[in-house]
Structure 1
Amino acid sequence: MKVLGRVTSINVRKVLWALDELGLGYEREDWGLPLRDPKVPQYLALNPNGQVPVLIENQFVLWESNAILIYLAEREGQLLPSQLELRALALQWLIWQATELNPPWGYAVNALIRKTPGYDDADKVAASIASWGDKMAILEGQLARGQVFVAGDEFSIADIAIALSVHRWMSLPAEKPEFAAVADYYERAMAREAGAKWMAPETP
């Protein structure tokens, strides 16, 4: 298998973490700005959105990081619960990470981690952190139930996605709410070999 994408992308790291958890060999090729423009015809032929990552396995090409996570889990029969309800819950939280947890952080991450020019409005930074914190409070409520991972006691692809988002929250150099259950969860994720590898310090 080959993964196209830069390791500074949280979505690329999702896929790399899953591959490492599953013990699957792979090659990685740098794509994505500022390293290599994915808007060129060669890359757009693989992913017309011009986004990373892309997974290539023989003649099979797959994009969208969560679709790749599901494919790898199904392919190997691991990282998703076998029991239907728990499996559905894991997929629920996987989707929630992309649609609810991630969007609010955009302005704050660009301003405080990536140092992107133009992201210098203090009120917008504060609003971004507040909205992001509201979503983190939802995660806190789920984890405070006492289960080990987000969809129960079994580690799943949902935890790969959410732990990387938690890592971004923990890495944000700003005053923000503290969540005890989330902090404990983060330690459990970091204790995994692949978790420690792919939750390295945030870089632009």
Structure 2
Amino acid sequence: MVNGADEADDNGPGRAREWGWSLFESPVGPLLLAATADGLVQVVFHATPEVTRRALDRLRARTGREPHAGSCGRDAPGNGPWARHLACAERELAAYFAGGLRVFTVPLDWSLTGGFHLRVLRALAADVPYGTTAGYQDLADRVGEPGAARAVGVAMGANPLPVVVPCHRVVESGGGLGGFGGGRETKRELLALEGLLPQPLF
């Protein structure tokens, strides 16, 4: 049954949790990365100062704590386990954008999602590998909710971990790109990187 698109698990609001963040310069623009002791918790596209401020405000509210700011992937003693996850995410994203990584292994903290959204995103992460795509209806079928193709689209738009949890690989059954929280041009670039669309000429 489709329900609780915004439900959180036991790691959600009410449990104060240490976390940190950094900015990662990628070929599709700056990405804000945030991590807790459990793993990478959020990836935010187009991390301008204003986008970053809003994202950090939301994370403060969800975690109940101020962040450890701008680790930039440094795994220095005393930074906490979140710093190791940020460093891992940065290394793996750099390798992904360079064409040398196809499977992310950075631990993930799923606490910013729950319910149906979490089920769909876990299925996406597990079952739609690099260089392949899936349709919205296909993902609905995979989680046993064949009437929920539209709800799958909503879950993709609410994905807190884009790129690492590859919602850019979910496309329309008729061949259209479909929507994307990072913008359609970003989706095209990610699909081109994985060999699913022609690379832009310039």
Higher helix share: 1
- TM-score category, normalised to shorter length: 0.3 to 0.5
* Higher fraction of strand: 2
